[in-house]
């Protein structure tokens, strides 16, 4: 285990494996990850660990499976693992609702200024109620574009419908009619963007989606649009987003994920129109327990000689 895990997940691992745990305050760099894996048959890792090609090539021969405690697996060079005959698994499904809840929180929080409002109260800068300021942006009835209409994107759409939002989406493939539920499909991202008062990023980070939100794509959004990101930071070009937040092209943004997190671009901290969260998408005890059990289910299946349910190395 590269990181401390929820107590009930560690108890399950301790009961069934010769488990090597990691204390809460420990973290592993590349050399540490390799050393920690000494004599291990499997590794349970998280998005905080970078399993690059270099790391995977130096893992002990004994390692046969890497189970990540996450749905995203951009921190693992899956092709390198496959070349070494190492199985990789992830934890889909179980964090869909928690992550979609955070996307909705970001939509509401960014639009209504929850972060600056909270700060005003806390810092005793709230002097009186006034009709004209501070003001946010209305959410109900607005158009929401969803980039990536997988499980999480669809769960965001379900929540947004309760706010009477009109749903647009861009995805590699069009959803079946019953899953689409009235949402407007755009086969080309650029064609969807002019219809987005809000844009929610819910796609995986891949070579195709990295920097998909950049100066050119932002310019296609309506003036005053709001972007929220619960997927991965590198889907956004930070220079372009920060410039658009400064110029007023975008009214606000809500970000739960960042390129290079936790070392985020420091300019975000200076902006008054961005709602920042520390990658809380799946951060509920229920969800983290479920993610842990799903990762251990995959390990159990693998060591029983079965095909793990969430195998990524087909
Ligand atoms: C994941 O599982 O990929 C999430 O980003 C963790 O919250």
pLDDT digit of tens for each residue in the chain (314 aa)? 999 999 999 999 999 999 999 998 788 899 999 999 999 999 999 999 999 999 999 999 999 999 999 999 999 999 999 999 999 999 999 999 999 999 999 999 999 999 999 999 999 999 999 999 899 999 999 999 999 999 999 999 999 999 999 999 999 999 999 999 999 999 999 999 999 999 999 999 999 999 999 999 999 999 999 999 999 999 999 999 999 999 999 999 999 999 999 999 999 999 999 999 999 999 999 999 999 999 999 999 999 999 999 999 98
Beta strands in the chain (DSSP E): 42-45, 65-68, 87-89, 143-147, 166-170, 184-186, 198-201, 225-229, 250-255, 274-276
Q: How far apart are CA 206 and CA 196, in angstroms?
A: 23
**Does the beta carbon of 70 sit less than 6 angstroms from any atom of ligand 1?**
yes
Q: Which of 170, 160, 213 is nearest to 191 (CA)?
A: 170
Supply the pLDDT for residue 26. Answer: 80
Is there a catalytic annotation at residue 232? yes
Rounded to whole angstroms, the maximal C-alpha distance in the chain is 67
Q: How far apart are CA 75 and CA 260, in angstroms?
A: 11
Q: How far apart are CA 15 and CA 142, in angstroms?
A: 51
For the CA of 72, the nearest atom of ligand 1: 3
Q: What CATH number has the domain spanning 96-276? A: 3.40.50.720
Q: How far apart are CA 298 and CA 194, in angstroms?
A: 42
**Does the beta carbon of 287 sit less than 6 angstroms from any atom of ligand 1?**
no
Looking at residue 191, the DSSP 8-state letter turns out to be H
Cα of 272 to ligand 1 centre, how many Å? 27
Q: Which of 92, 49, 50, 87 is nearest to 71 (CA)?
A: 92
**Does the beta carbon of 72 sit less than 6 angstroms from any atom of ligand 1?**
yes
Is there a catalytic annotation at residue 261? yes
Check 112, 143, 186, 279 and give the catalytic one: 279
User: Which residue's alpha carbon is at the smallest distance from atom 3 of ligand 1?
Assistant: 72
Check 10, 166, 180, 261 and give the catalytic one: 261
CA distances from 174 to 147, 151, 158, 170 (A): 12, 13, 17, 8
**Does the beta carbon of 231 sit less than 6 angstroms from any atom of ligand 1?**
no
Rounded to two decimals, the pTM is 0.97
Cα of 70 to ligand 1 centre, how many Å? 5
Check 12, 112, 232, 288 and give the catalytic one: 232
**Does the beta carbon of 150 sit less than 6 angstroms from any atom of ligand 1?**
no
Domain 7-94+284-303 has CATH 3.40.50.720: yes
Cα of 263 to ligand 1 centre, how many Å? 17
Coil/strand/helix, residue 168: strand
User: Domains of the chain: which residue ranges?
Assistant: 7-94+284-303, 96-276
């Amino acid at each position: 285990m590269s990181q401390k895990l929820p107590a009930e997940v560690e108890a399950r691992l301790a009961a069934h494996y010769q488990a090597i745990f990691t204390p809460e305050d420990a973290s592993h760099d590349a050399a540490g990850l390799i050393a920690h894996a000494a004599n291990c048959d499997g590794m349970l890792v998280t998005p905080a660990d970078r399993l690059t090609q270099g790391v995977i090539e130096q893992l002990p021969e004994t390692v046969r499976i890497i189970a990540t405690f996450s749905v995203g697996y951009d921190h693992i060079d899956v092709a390198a693992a496959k070349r070494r005959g190492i199985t990789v698994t992830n934890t889909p499904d179980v964090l869909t609702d928690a992550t979609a809840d955070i996307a909705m929180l970001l939509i509401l929080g960014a639009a209504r200024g929850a972060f600056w409002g909270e700060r005003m109260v806390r810092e005793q800068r709230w002097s009186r109620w006034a009709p004209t300021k501070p003001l946010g942006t209305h959410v109900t009835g607005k158009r929401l574009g969803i980039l990536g209409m997988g499980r999480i994107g669809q769960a965001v759409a379900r929540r947004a419908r309760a706010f009477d939002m009109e749903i647009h989406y861009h995805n590699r493939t069009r959803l079946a009619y019953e899953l689409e539920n009235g949402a407007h499909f755009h086969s080309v991202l650029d064609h969807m963007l002019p219809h987005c008062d809000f844009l929610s990023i819910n796609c995986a980070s891949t070579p195709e989606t990295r920097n998909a939100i950049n100066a050119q794509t932002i310019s296609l959004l309506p003036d005053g649009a709001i972007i929220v990101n619960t997927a991965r930071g590198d889907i956004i070009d930070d220079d372009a987003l920060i410039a658009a937040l400064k110029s007023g092209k975008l009214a606000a943004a809500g970000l739960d994920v960042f390129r290079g997190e936790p070392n985020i671009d420091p300019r975000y901290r200076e902006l008054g129109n961005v709602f920042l969260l520390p990658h809380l998408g799946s951060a509920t005890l229920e969800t983290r327990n479920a993610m842990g059990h799903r990762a251990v289910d995959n390990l159990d299946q693998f060591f029983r000689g079965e095909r793990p349910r969430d195998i990524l190395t087909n």
